[in-house]
Structure 1
Amino acid sequence: MSVETASGIELPTFRLDGRTAVVTGASGGLGQRFSQVLAKAGATVYAAARRTDRLEALAATSPGIVPVSCDLSSGEDRARLIETASKGSGRIDVLVNNAGVPGALHIENESTEVLQDVLQINLLSAFDLSKRAGELPGTKDLAIINIASVLGLVSTAPLGGAGYAASKGALIALTRELAGQWGHRGIRVNALAPGWFHTEMTEELFGDPKGAKWVDRNTMLARGGAAAELDGALLFLASAASSYMTGQVLVVDGGWTAR
């Protein structure tokens, strides 16, 4: 969809009217913001997470948000999420695989059991939900957005986070491969890689003066990001504005990875 200007040039629109979207990890942090932004753009958003009370509070902020209580470590819950979201139209138009858990900072404290939990949420759930959404009979212009991280691209030593970094690196590889396998069907798969944003997951980092200064010192814009600064990138990847873009990683990090 595009908008024609007085000069006759058609500009892309970021609107999502009539579209069905799914956002995981929607009960807080970036997922909460993503759900509100997509709904504001006109989509019906199925917001999924385990914290039902928070989902209900989120849904109260917009008539376009539908709360779905979901444990993403459960295959049954993932299947139910896709079935619920696609029930009306027979398809899902936008899938935002945002849910994520941090794991341990230092590998000495990160057992293989913890790593399995991290991979279960950060990688396997995205794999399974993407597969299920892509297999829906009504699927045609599906846009999958995997929320990765700069930790999937560069090391953030001495901070740590081996399991988390491994999961995000794998998510980026999954993005490329799904884009390659599904491109001929018109399904677009891209990753959004945020830098250091003020979220629940980074509260401890930004709450520590040394941590906050570390972020400022190593970021070209000399500050952490605000959630609203991902709105444009999210809508770009979700809408027809990025209709010829797939298999890519869109980095929004204040210049962190360009050092």
Structure 2
Amino acid sequence: MKNDNIKNQYRVNEQIRVREVRIVGDGGSTVVPTRQALDMAREQGVDLVEISPNANPPVCRLIDYSKFLYQQKKRAKEMKAKQVKVEVKEIRFGPQTDEHDYQFKLKHAKEFLEDGNKVRAYVFFRGRSILFKEQGEVLLLRFANDLEEFGKVEHMPSLEGKKMFLYLAPKKAGAAKKSQQALDREKKAAEQKEAPRQKAAETADDALVEIPANGGLFANAKMSDAVKEKIKNIKE
């Protein structure tokens, strides 16, 4: 069926009923009467194929029609192969997700976005846990903030029934997933590049950073001012 659609897309030889056409080829283009173009095609043992019917005059090529269809099908196949298939990956949280589970799901979300896929993260409120919807919103805001380098927010957290959704899209267009060998090489190169910095850091007097003692899910979160203000407003 698809092949028939391509075949019926073009008019050939006597199907071309306009007064004149523009013939294009390697040597340039020229406008000639349609009858003369048909005679030229017969002399060369090829077909007169209309490739741009909406032009004035319509554009045609002198080419074997079977060869022309093969080229068009091959080109369509190549374009389809180059297209990136974007999938929507889901990440599910509970309103009281612990830090270990959060980091595990954050890691997967980064991989999804790096592969060019979208991410739909949501918090599922079971039964009376709907009372913690503000906590679920804060969790999703932190999730978006931690993924800022890899994805952009398409839709801020919103409650739909018993689920609160957050939608993220990759910042860069998806690409074919790299082989494990390529990933290992990149990792090794990054480690070699980082080694001198780590050695220098060990011999330097680094300033100590005091870490809050309250712990919990948000103890180690690096949040932007906008996210902090949002959380502050929720708590108030």
TM-score (norm 1): 0.25
Rg larger in 1 or in 2? 2
| Structure richer in strand, relative to its length | 2
TM value normalised by structure 2: 0.26
The one of the two structures with greater contact order (alpha-carbon pairs below 8 A, sep at least 6) is 1
